[in-house]
Structure 1
Amino acid sequence: MNKKYIKWGLGALAVAAAGVLLDALVLEKYFFEVKTFDIGDKSSRKKLKLVLLADLHFKHNMLPQYSKLAQTLNQMQPDLVLIAGDTLDSSGGMLPMEQFFSLLRQDMPKVAIPGNNDYKADPSIQRLKEAYAKHGCDFLLNETKAYTLKGERVVVTGLDDFIQGESHFKDAVEGIGKEAHHLLLIHSPLQLELVQKEVEQLNSERSPSDQLNIRYAFAGHNHGGQVRLPSYVPKLPRKSGDYINGWYKDRSPYLYVSKGFGTSAVPFRFFARAELTFFHYHV
């Protein structure tokens, strides 16, 4: 074979390899995508702005992409930020988390739940809760909280992680009946399957006017596979189920699974770009 073509071939392979490394180590990790969806009663012109964050995985330093994320959130001016767990990495600390939340507008309503890695990190769950409170973020552990957003009552149920924590859905919805806008915040999407069974059981004991009516469930945990090929995901975290990312369920509660923002296990992503998810919720 002509040496010229061999050189061209080797050069092309080197460029391709460099492109793969650039994408995995820089683009997928440091440049995030903003995914936008219209949900709710789309015949209504009244909309709430909801933002979903998941799997921030703060380690020991505040990396540049988190500053950009904070800037983007402030520009969006969401009515409510939903944080679906794993704010801390298993080896992470509080400093970068606190630095990030200090960049956000303090009047921005925020609500969070724990993920499995939040339990593995050195700071206790109580310290995490206190840090959230310091920055105006509610932290729900098997609890439900009602928000008034643009005059609309929106109820958020937040469950404890069911891998490292103790999830108690029945306790979380005690005193809660049929709501027009009831959202569920969970860390692992697989947890929804257990919740649905509990909802069916509870509703079978209630009158129709008092039955739970969860419209949407939001989760993270799976990182979209984090390192994958377009049609092949070699590995997902423990208790992930068959969920990867995106929309699931053909009836309520409709489930959205975020690819998350940070990384765990390995410090890069491939074909699973970090995301910030923005919902126009028609009410």
Structure 2
Amino acid sequence: MLTDLHLKAVTHFHERIARAVEDSSPNAVVIIGDAVDGRDRLPLLSDFLGLLPGSVPRVATLGNWEYWGRVDLAALRRTYEAADTHLLVNESYILSEGAALFGTDDSLAGTPTLDGLVDLADREVVLLSHCPAFRDAIPAGLRGQVRAMLSGHTHGGQVAIGGWAPLLPPGSGPYTAGWYTEAGVPLYVSRGLGTSVLPLRLGSPPELAVLEWFVGGLSGSLPARSTRGSLPGPPGRRR
């Protein structure tokens, strides 16, 4: 699970991310929004996607910064498609007979809809939606079908003091980082990998989350493990 790359260069840091993804032996890779925040950054996204293992399904969603950065969304889709990555904008990706991913448009800057879940009634669904506050907009009638929701956006506050984030961006809702399993669809919020506005993190290190999904298993949250704190900040431009 990769979120909030905010690519400004492809560095050794991003090479380490790609190696960590490959070492986790994933069955799928998901990129949940804010991969780029400027229309001139698509070549960087292409370079980064070229580092990821190409032998597994890869899907992506939009975040608010793809809109706010005026990224050409048609060109963005072509960039993903050229790297064999499926951009999901209120669309689904079938993983197996019993499992599917559904990626929404960004709920802060776009127009998300869950209408396509009707076609997935015979499958368990993991919902990919960049802004975690969208969890509270999932209709009660669909919550039984959605096994879990995965989000980013918050950067864990980007600056946090003892786990407390004094400032969260709009679209975060009451969610900062980690699992939220009470009273609704289980939600996992990743701290993400990049930065926005200020090029620093304090008390909220970058995160690459690895989630295990047991289709047809017990209800509740998905087990999760992550490289919390093990990915150092970008050390310099990639050679």
Does 1:104 pair with 2:48? no
Does 1:155 pair with 2:155? no
Flag the structure with higher strand content. Answer: 1
Q: Which residue of 1 aligns with 2:179?
A: 247
**CA distance in 1 between partners of 2:122 and 2:180 (Å):** 23
Choose which of 110, 114, 124 in structure 2 pairs with 1:169.
Answer: 114
Number of corresponding residues: 215
Q: Which residue of 2 aligns with 1:260?
A: 192
> What letter is aligned with 2:132?
P
Does 1:276 pair with 2:219? no
Flag the structure with higher helix content. Answer: 1
Q: CA RMSD in A?
A: 1.9
Does 1:55 pair with 2:4? yes
Secondary structure of 2:35's counterpart equals coil
Q: Which residue of 2 aligns with 1:79?
A: 27
Q: Which residue of 1 aligns with 2:147?
A: 215
**CA distance in 2 between partners of 1:267 and 1:91 (Å):** 19
> What letter is aligned with 1:184?
L
**CA distance in 1 between partners of 2:37 and 2:165 (Å):** 22
Larger Rg: 1
Superposed displacement of residue 105, structure 1 = 2.2
- Tell me the TM-score normalized by structure 2: 0.84
**CA distance in 1 between partners of 2:178 and 2:144 (Å):** 24
- Tell me the TM-score normalized by structure 1: 0.71
Q: How does 1:173-212 map to 2 (within 5 A)?
A: 173-179=117-123, 181-195=124-138, 197=139, 199-200=140-141
> What letter is aligned with 1:101?
L
Superposed displacement of residue 259, structure 1 = 0.3
Deviations 1:254-281 (A, max 9, x none): 1100000000010010000000001222
**CA distance in 1 between partners of 2:10 and 2:51 (Å):** 11
Superposed displacement of residue 92, structure 1 = 5.8
Superposed displacement of residue 94, structure 1 = 1.1
Superposed displacement of residue 83, structure 1 = 1.4
**CA distance in 2 between partners of 1:278 and 1:272 (Å):** 18
Q: Which residue of 1 aligns with 2:219?
A: none
Secondary structure of 1:275's counterpart equals coil
> What letter is aligned with 2:92?
T
**CA distance in 2 between partners of 1:221 and 1:88 (Å):** 13
> What letter is aligned with 2:67?
Y
**CA distance in 2 between partners of 1:104 and 1:261 (Å):** 15
Q: Which residue of 2 aligns with 1:15?
A: none
Give the fraction of aligned pairs with identical amino acids, expressed as a percent: 30
**CA distance in 2 between partners of 1:224 and 1:56 (Å):** 14
Q: Which residue of 2 aligns with 1:89?
A: 37
Deviations 1:57-90 (A, max 9, x none): 112x212211110111122221011211111125
After TM superposition, the runs of 4+ consecutive aligned structure 1 residues lying more than 3 A away are: none
Secondary structure of 1:129's counterpart equals helix
Q: Does the 8 A contact of 1:189 with 1:257 survive in 2?
A: yes
Ranges in structure 2 where 5+ consecutive residues have no aligned partner: 216-239
Secondary structure of 1:112's counterpart equals strand
**CA distance in 2 between partners of 1:141 and 1:282 (Å):** 25
Ranges in structure 1 where 5+ consecutive residues have no aligned partner: 1-51, 204-210
Q: Which residue of 1 aligns with 2:18?
A: 70
> What letter is aligned with 2:13?
Q
Q: Does the 8 A contact of 1:159 with 1:167 survive in 2?
A: yes
